[in-house]
Amino acid sequence: MLINKLILITFYILFMANCLNSKDKFYTFQEANAKVLLAFAAKDSACGTVHTITTFIPGEPQKSDIDSCVKVIQALDCSTWSAGDPTPLQCKAIEFKLK
DSSP states along 8-62? HHHHHHHHHHHHHTGGGGB--HHHHHHHHHHHHHHHHHHHT----------SEEB
Q: Please report whether residue 91 resides in a domain.
A: yes
pLDDT at 64: 94
The answer for residues whose C-beta is within 8 angstroms of residue 99's C-beta and 6 or more apart is 59, 60
Domain extent at residue 39: 25-97
Q: What percent of the chain has pLDDT over 90?
A: 48
Q: Please report whether residue 85 resides in a domain.
A: yes
Q: Please report whether residue 15 resides in a domain.
A: no
**Domain count of the fold of the chain:** 1
Which tens digits make up the pLDDT trace of 51-85?
888 888 888 999 999 999 999 999 999 999 998 88
Q: Please report whether residue 10 resides in a domain.
A: no
Which tens digits make up the pLDDT trace of 30-60?
999 999 999 999 999 999 999 888 888 888 9
Q: Please report whether residue 11 resides in a domain.
A: no
Q: Please report whether residue 67 resides in a domain.
A: yes
